Every structure is written in C-alpha cells, then in structure tokens.
Amino acid sequence: MATTEPTTLAADRAAALRDLLPPVTRRRTRVGLVAGGLGTYWPQFPGLLPQLKESAAYVTERLQQLDAEVVDVGFVSDAQDGAAAAEQLRRADCDLIVLFLTTYLTSSMVLPIAQRSHTPVLVIDLQPSERMDHPSFDTGAWLAYCAQCSVPEVGNVFRRAGIPFRSVSGWLRQESAWRRIEQWVRAAHVRAALRHARHGLMGHLYPGMLDVSTDLTLLPATFGSHVEVLEFDDLRHRVERVTEAETRERMALARKVFTLDDSVVDEDFAWGATVSVGLDRLVEEFGLDTLAYYHRGLDGELHERLGAGMILGASLLTARGVPAAGEYELRTSLAQLVSQSVGGGGSFTEIQALNFEDGVVEMGHDGPAHLAVSARDPLLRGLGVYHGKRGWGVSVEFDVQPGPVTLLGVGQDADGSLSFIASEGTVVPGPLLEIGNTTSRVDFGRDPGEWVDEWSATGVGHHWSLALGRHAADFRAAASLLGIDYREV
C-alpha cells in the first residue's frame, strides 16, 4: 500500500485539476502509415499477400490506439505504388511516417516516400511471430518473415540520400517492440507541438542574463514555430477590461486549486486574479501555445504591477497546457511544451543549492509552476518582495512529487544551432525552503558538485523544464525527428 498510495493521490489530484482547469485543445499529432512488399511474390505465392495485409491491419489498429490521427495510405507493391503513396503522404502533412516492411521490397519502392514527404520516417519490420516453424514452412511462409532483409538496404539508400534512418525490428505482437514504436510516436507529439506552436514573448530580457537571449529566427527556422512578440501593453489593455465579477470568479477558482497561506494579502490576491483573467484573454486572442515574459517596471507603476501579478495566472495557464516561464525564458517555455507533449508536465526550474550531506541538488524557481508535478495541494504565499525583481504579490509554492524526474533544457550554441539537453534523476524527500518557490531535492546518483559541473558544460542555460518520469529516451527520439543535437548527463 505504501508504494501505491502516493500514485493514487497524485492521480486523484490530477483528475481534479483537469476538471477545474480543462486542458487546451490543439491539432492532433498526425502519423502516416504505409505497408509494402515486393509484388513479384503475389502471383507466385497466392496466400502471402492476404497474410501480410492482415499483419498491416494489426499495425494500423495498434497505431490508432495511440494518441494520434493515423493516415493509412494502404499497401504498396511496386515503385509506382510507392510514388503514389508518397504523394498522398506529402499532402497529408504528417508529423511522422511509419513504413511497415511486411516482406522483402526494393528500396526504390520506398525512397520517394521519404524524399517527397519531407517528414521523418520510421521503418518497422515485424515478422508474424517469434520464430519460423522450420519443418512446416515452404518458401511462401518464409517470405512473411524476411522483411529484415530489406532493412539494411533501406538504411544504406537513406544514408546515401542524406535521409536520417530509424528502425524498429521485432515481431508483430512483441510488446517491447511496440514500446519502442510508441516512443517514436511520443517524439512525433513533440514535433507536432513545435511545428505548429505559437510562442508568446512579452516584455524584455532580464538585464544581464545573456544565456537567456535567443535568436528568434531560430525557432521558425529549426522547428517551424512562430514567435509572437508582445508588449506588456497588450496585457494591460485586456486587464483594464476585466470586471469585478470576473475577478471574484477567478479568486473562487483559485481557492479551489490552491491553499491560501495567511501571508496572502487580499488586495494582492485580487490583483493576481484580475491579471489572470487578462492573461487568458491574451493567450486566446493571440492563439498562444507558450508564454515567456519579464518586465522590470519602476516605483510601483502599472507595468511593474502587471509583471509582479503574473504568477497566479501563469501557473493556471501552465496547468491547462499553455506553459509559461518568467525572466523572458523563451527556450525554457519551449522545453516545458516538449515535456508536456510526452506526458511529463514540465515546470520552470533552476538550481537553488547543493546538499553534499544528502547527495542531492536542490532546485526549483519562483514564478509560474506546473501544478501537475506537485506532491500536495499547491500553496499561494504572499511575498513582500520578489528576490532580484521589482514588485510584490502572491507566489506559488509546493514540493515536487517523489520519484523519477527528467530535466530538459534547450541550448543555443556558438553556430546558432539549438539542442536538447537532458538528465534523469530522482526526487527524494527531505527539508525544503518555504519561500514561495516550487522546490525539489533531486538525487542524480553521484556527487552533486560533479553533476553541476557536467550539466553546465553541456551549454544548457540556467533555467530548464522539470518533468515527472523517465523521458530521456523520448527527448533523444524527438531531437532525432527535429534534426537537432541531443546531449545527456
């Protein structure tokens, strides 16, 4: 019972949050599917094609059980069929194409599919069962098991054509093979999210944070994303139109989501709720999928108050699937979207301190947090000052659920290229700060100082996303589909 109770409580809390904060809906990930084999065999072995099409139907069924729209263009038997399938898949604008080799086929049948679609391809070859029944098999029965013969041929031709090659070899109902296929579909979720994402960037760079500065052209050039540059006046315009009734309604919602600490000042709470309503309108009207923001302000004027009033609304947005990050951290809001796309949540995080006695890295951040990673009901705490920033108000505080976590940062190198940088660890219980931050104690199984040195040497910035679960393999696969570098500590 001790091992299952926290998981049950977390699941109940997550379900309650979904009811209170319905997730935003986006375009579904689109997976193309084409199966094929060498048509020369069909008249020679009449029972072969029906058997292979039965296997193809099973693959379609399994893919449709995943959270994706499957575009099945059927079965190809020659190069002409392959060219026709390539055109169908090009028009379908898929996020991943699964090429099912059912028996031997020539590389000329499938090269156009990879070339013309401009979409990453996953080659799968799943023989009907674990092994052949040699005494009873004739040539026709064997041919259903020889798709692996094509895999090196396709890999060679893809390499010569400058096309990244990925494959999963196994047998039709082998669950370990399907887990590998599912990992590539999760990676396709990331590609889909980034290809169609609209990233909001509001305010200005936190002065002096050179690592946070991002070349805005890189996101559309690398991923296809759009960056919408916003002014705090875009938010001001919407906040000024929030009614008192809407503020009261948002405060009532916040009381259902958060526990209010005695330090919360009613006026600050009301202001955070008002800004939250305005933020929702900003996100909806600009069609944003993420938001990174910062504004320094001066002497309590309106723009300073807007910047200081963001935390409540930004946390509620993040819980609904619109990741928000403070300090103008565009690459981290992107990393949070990636973490969310593989089902891990994704909360704005940095290093807070090292505990060499317990062997842990303490990390977290003030500002917006992903409520799904909380180990308990999140707390709203009143702060008279935000360290390093102007303003005051309410902040979100909680500790992260114990268990496996994965960090994901997005690096930008000297040549301007972007990279995914990941590290897996385990959140362990222990003493935490109570200063209006999300906090966690992460054990990486090594000296915490050595981990910090190696992590910092990757080129990661000083912020990243923290996701629940083991997702390094998902992030590695996503980097492959996106054509960017991947580094792991």
pLDDT at 374: 75
Q: From residue 287, give the alpha-carbon distance in Å to each of 235, 293, 332, 417.
A: 14, 16, 19, 27
Per-residue confidence (pLDDT) for residue 416, from 0 to 100: 87
Number of domains in the chain: 2
Q: pLDDT tens digits, residue range 5-64?
A: 445 656 677 777 778 888 888 889 999 999 999 999 999 999 999 999 999 999 999 999
- In this prediction, residues 340-363 reach a mean pLDDT of 91
Q: What is the pLDDT of residue 4?
A: 37
pLDDT recorded at residue 1: 29
Is a pLDDT exceeding 90 seen at residue 427?
yes
> What integer is the mean pLDDT of 384-402?
67
Same domain, yes or no, for 343 and 459? yes
> What is the predicted pLDDT for the residue at 5?
43
pLDDT tens digit string along 225-239? 999 999 999 999 999
Is the same domain home to 213 and 326?
Answer: yes
Residue 229 within any structural domain of the chain: yes
**Residue where a domain stops, chosen among 146, 169, 193:** 193
* Total-model pTM: 0.90
Residue type at 243? T
pLDDT at residue 483 tops 80: yes
pLDDT band per the 50, 70, 90 thresholds, residue 2: very low
Is the residue at 373 inside a domain? yes
Whether the per-residue pLDDT at 378 is higher than 80: the answer is: yes
Residue 418 sits in the same domain as residue 278: yes
- Asked if the structure places residue 11 within a domain, the reply is no
Note the pLDDT tens digit of each residue in 87-134: 999 999 999 999 999 999 999 999 999 999 899 999 999 999 999 889
Give the per-residue pLDDT at 435: 67
pLDDT-based confidence at residue 296 (cuts at 50, 70, 90): confident
Residue range 201-210: average pLDDT? 90
Position 342 scores a pLDDT of 93
Q: What is the pLDDT of residue 3?
A: 36
d(CA 470, CA 69): 25
Same domain, 112 and 221: no
Residue 439 is predicted with a pLDDT of 80
485, pLDDT greater than 50: yes
The whole-number average pLDDT for the span 205-229 is 92
Please report, to the nearest 10 degrees, the dihedral formed by the alpha carbons of residues 260, 263, 267, 273 taken in order: -30
Using only the alpha carbons of the chain, give its radius of gyration: 25
Asked if residue 204 belongs to a domain, the reply is yes
347 vs 251, more confident: 251
Range with top average pLDDT, 147-151, 278-282, 461-465: 278-282
Residue 275, judged by CB atoms within 10 A of its CB (0-12, 13-18, 19+), counts as: buried
88 and 141 in a single domain? The answer is yes
Answer with the one of 143, 161, 193 that is the final residue of a domain.
Answer: 193
Write down the pLDDT at residue 262: 86
Evaluate whether residue 369 is within a structural domain.
Answer: yes
In SS3 terms, 454-481 reads as HHHCCCCCCCEEEEECCCHHHHHHHHHH
450-459 burial string, b = 16+ CB within 10 Å, else e?
Answer: ebeeebeebe
Task: Flag whether 149 is in a domain.
Answer: yes
Residue at 175 is within a domain: yes
Residues 204 and 239 in one domain: yes
Residues of the chain above pLDDT 90, percent: 69
| SS3 label, residue 72 | strand
Query: Cα 317–304–283 angle (5° rounding)?
Result: 25
CA 310 to CA 276: how far, in whole Å?
7
In sequence order, what are the beta bridge partners of 229? 201
Among 53-62, 342-351, 449-458, the minimum mean pLDDT is found in 342-351
Burial grade of 352 (CB within 10 A; 0-12, 13-18, 19 or more): middle
Question: What is the pLDDT at residue 463?
Answer: 92
The answer, yes or no, to whether residue 304 has pLDDT greater than 80, is yes
Percent with pLDDT over 70 in the chain: 95
pLDDT at 468: 92
pLDDT value of position 7: 55
For 379, the domain range is 197-488
Mean pLDDT, the chain, as a whole number? 90
Least confident stretch, 75-84, 116-125, 387-396: 387-396
- Is 19 within the bounds of a domain? no
- Whether 483 and 406 map to the same domain: the answer is yes
pLDDT value at residue 316: 93
Single residue among 167, 193, 219 that ends a domain in this structure: 193
Same-domain pairing of 84 and 165: yes
Structure confidence at residue 11 (pLDDT): 66
Q: Is 97 helix (H, G, I), strand (E, B) or coil?
A: strand
The CATH number of the domain holding residue 138 is 3.40.50.10940
